[in-house]
Amino acid sequence: MMKRVLTTCPYCGVGCGFYLDVRNERLVGVIPSKSNSVSKGYLCVKGWHAHEPIQHPDRLKKPLIKENGKFKEASWDTALGYVAGRLKEIKDKYGPDALAVCTSARCTNEENFLMMKFARAALGTNNVDHCARTCHVPTVAGLNQSFGSGASTNSYDELPYMDCILIIGSNPTEAHPIAGWRVRSAIDNAAKIIVCDPRKILPAENASVYIQQYPGTDIALINAMIQFIVSEGLHAREFIAKRTEGFDALWEIVKDYTPESVKDITGVEPALIKEAAKLYATSKRSCIMYSLGMTEHTVGTDNVIAMANLSMVCGHVGKEFSGVYPMRGQNNVQGACDMGALPNVYSGYQPVSDEQVRKKFENAWGVTLPAAKGLTLTDMMFKAIEGSLKCFYIIGEDQLRTDPNTHWIEKALDSLEFLVIQEIFLTETARKADVVLPGASFAEKDGTFTCAERRFQRVRKAIEPIAGKTDGQIIYEIAKRLGYPMESDPEKVCAEMASLTPLFRGVSFERLEENGLQWPVYSNEHPGTPVVHLEKFIRGLGKFIPVKHKPPAETPDNEYPFILTTGRMLFHYNTGTMTRRTMNLLREYPRNFVQINPQDAQRLGIKKQEKVRVKTRRGELEVAAEVTDKVKAGVAWMPFHFSDEPTNVLTNNAFDPVCRIAEYKACAARVEKINSL
Ligand SMILES: Nc1nc2c(c(=O)[nH]1)N[C@H]1C(S)=C(S)[C@@H](COP(=O)(O)OP(=O)(O)OC[C@H]3O[C@@H](n4cnc5c(=O)[nH]c(N)nc54)[C@H](O)[C@@H]3O)O[C@H]1N2
Ligand SMILES: Nc1nc2c(c(=O)[nH]1)N[C@H]1C(S)=C(S)[C@@H](COP(=O)(O)OP(=O)(O)OC[C@H]3O[C@@H](n4cnc5c(=O)[nH]c(N)nc54)[C@H](O)[C@@H]3O)O[C@H]1N2
Ligand code: SF4
Ligand SMILES: [Mo]
């Protein structure tokens, strides 16, 4: 039997659409959807091969229960009964806040909604979070303070028509390739590109201005741009007067950040900063595209606020062909946040601390709900080590490879009394579990994902769940055994979510059929919202919040003279559980490596591709050296996609005080020749 099932890509937050080609229950290929409004018939190399890992022989097919340190296969009924029993036992003994839940940004909106409801209503705790904590949570916190909403302000379709795109801490060509293609179209339409990135990424080759700042110095850089813009009178006086508040307080701080004064901090010539500032301010249609180069810092939230300040100073937000584009990472990380898989809010960012909101959910769910906000993923780890968190139920996240400072995470996971992992492959984190529940991939279930331009899109089942159950059904089964039955049919879960969430009230499977819908969608008649903050910001007036430069938690010294920063490459995706099981992707980059500048290589006597030791205060790793002028002297860069050579043994578990994100993008490191010792 042959069929083609229209669905949404399970990798990055761009949200491309394709058909899965199914023959006799086997996924044999991917066909791009020409009518998809995001991807318009294009896909990147990961999308083209998205079917390949799904039916890989390594897929988990049976629940596993650990006995005397070894996994034994168990029936669904035994495993689910055992998990429910242990959850109940721990809750009865220590109280609900001894338990925590981590949802998955790889799973659907409906599964994320179910999981946050499970934590709050079935377990009775607000300890629910997910990988946005490692990613764009500063966006949610920062843009919310400045604009009143923590999501992208504008849409992909506007990108090709921009006059100027400021790309800062984002590598769209590799991390969001089909958005990168829209940037390429803008260049073809004569747009000017400004790139600010410690690494000479591909868009820098086509940039009118390329700024190669040191990692962790972006506030100094942006404040200097604002200082120059205002002192030259290039700011948007009318916009500032009518639509914002707090400009004087901003200027009070920013006036001292002259381009000359930040030269030593950023390593950037003042003339370049001025050129970039002028180009961004004076172009008619200017936008900012940013991502983790800005957020993954101890000053992540302040970095985001600095960009919001820059956009408002120039009046380049709150209208079409402008705006701030946070390039959200995972296929459904926007959705996981939107669904309330966060410790402080329900779906649609409704605070758990708001009594009226809580009453609404209590009435709908028939339980009393906790009012105090829960633990962030970061603090769950601290509490596990301290001993007050006893149990963790994790869906689709591999903390032992993706959280910072692997040894610290290992200690946290080892401190737990009970760990449940719901996965599609046996990851390193799953190996630590007491019970592994086999989940189902995107190809095995119905639901929705929400991409980085706030667009809900349909995910459709192409084959039956390989292990017999979808993630949603597993949650449902455990909740039922805890005495709290929940609705689990995806379409009905979506309807329940919409009925409780003003921002998404008009979302339904039926309305998503064609091209999805961009939120806010306030009613069944509301057409969706391509551009937010038109006429007025969601918070009313846009708020200028002054922020000051602070160096990263660790800066180079004699012992650790490099700044190490980490990130992504086109061919692999995060832990690589799926891309390393895709032949054409693995072939391109089978192993980990470190990029260093030719000057450093020469000084240290390191040859191209020679194996070197990379060391930080937390760990060390031996990898091949890629000698390249993409990074400047004193900077080293590594990807984190390779489980056997795990980069996160090196990274720093220092966190942003506001939103608790880790500083993956800057720590002090030593790169040394192995045979010289
Ligand atoms: N191919 C591929 N695509 C992906 C992913 C993947 O693993 N592989 N992961 C997805 C996920 S989860 C996410 S969140 C996104 C992330 O997407 P991006 O954030 O675009 O990806 P990164 O490579 O982590 O970092 C972006 C850029 O930040 C730069 N950078 C490093 N330090 C600094 C700094 O201090 N300041 C500035 N301004 N820039 C800095 C890096 O050199 C890099 O070019 O990608 C998504 N898409
Ligand atoms: N050094 C360094 N570390 C980083 C970053 C960095 O820039 N530098 N970036 C951070 C960022 S932005 C992120 S988002 C995190 C990502 O960290 P993770 O979320 O841990 O990475 P993924 O590989 O996306 O892992 C998700 C897991 O979900 C599983 N999975 C996929 N689909 C499904 C499904 O439908 N159901 C179930 N049950 N499981 C599924 C996959 O097998 C995989 O093991 O990494 C962070 N770590
Ligand atoms: S750009 Fe992102 S969403 Fe599109 S095909 Fe590639 S990985 Fe999938
Ligand atoms: Mo991410």
Is residue 127's pLDDT more than 60? yes
Tell me the ligand closest to 166's alpha carbon: 1
Is residue 677's pLDDT more than 60? no
pTM listed for this prediction = 0.97
Atom number of ligand 1 nearest to Cα 295: 19
The 10s digit of each residue's pLDDT in 23-77 is 999 999 999 999 999 999 999 999 999 999 999 999 999 999 999 999 999 999 9
Q: Which element (helix H / strand E) includes 4?
A: strand 2-8
pLDDT band at 520 (very low <50, low <70, confident <90, very high): very high
Predicted confidence at residue 289, as pLDDT, reads 98
Predicted confidence at residue 514, as pLDDT, reads 80
Find the 147 Cα to ligand 2 centroid distance in Å. Answer: 29
What phi and psi, each to the nearest 5 degrees, are found at residue 28? -110, -10
Is residue 321's pLDDT more than 80? yes
> How much is the mean pLDDT over the chain?
97
> Is 249 strand, coil or helix?
helix
Atom number of ligand 1 nearest to Cα 131: 12
Residue range 517-523: mean pLDDT, rounded = 97
The 10s digit of each residue's pLDDT in 223-266 is 999 999 999 999 999 999 999 999 999 999 999 999 999 999 99
CB atoms closer than 10 angstroms to residue 83:
24
Q: Which residue's CA is minimally distant from atom 34 of ligand 2?
A: 441
pLDDT band at 536 (very low <50, low <70, confident <90, very high): very high
Q: Give Cα separations from 501 to 55, 296, 339, 367, 521 (angstroms).
A: 36, 29, 9, 18, 10
How far apart, in whole angstroms, are the C-alpha atoms of residue 581 and residue 251?
A: 52
Is residue 675's pLDDT more than 80? no
Residue range 564-568: mean pLDDT, rounded = 97
Predicted confidence at residue 676, as pLDDT, reads 56
Residue range 146-158: mean pLDDT, rounded = 95
Spell out which residues line ligand 2, taking CB within 6 angstroms.
Answer: 104, 106-107, 131, 134-135, 292, 296, 329-330, 395-398, 402, 422-425, 427, 439, 441-442, 471, 566-567, 574-575, 577, 640, 647-648, 651, 664
Locate all alpha helices (DSSP H) within 421-489, ordered by sequence: 428-431, 471-481
Residue range 126-137: mean pLDDT, rounded = 96
What phi and psi, each to the nearest 5 degrees, are found at residue 51? -75, -25
The 10s digit of each residue's pLDDT in 68-97 is 999 999 999 999 999 999 999 999 999 999
Predicted confidence at residue 569, as pLDDT, reads 96
Residue range 619-637: mean pLDDT, rounded = 97
Is residue 393's pLDDT more than 90? yes
Q: Give Cα separations from 489 to 10, 103, 509 (angstroms).
A: 20, 18, 12
Are 336 and 108 a contacting pair, CB within 8 Å? no
Tracing tokens 């960012």 back to the chain, one arrives at: 349
Residue range 3-12: mean pLDDT, rounded = 97
Atom number of ligand 1 nearest to Cα 574: 7
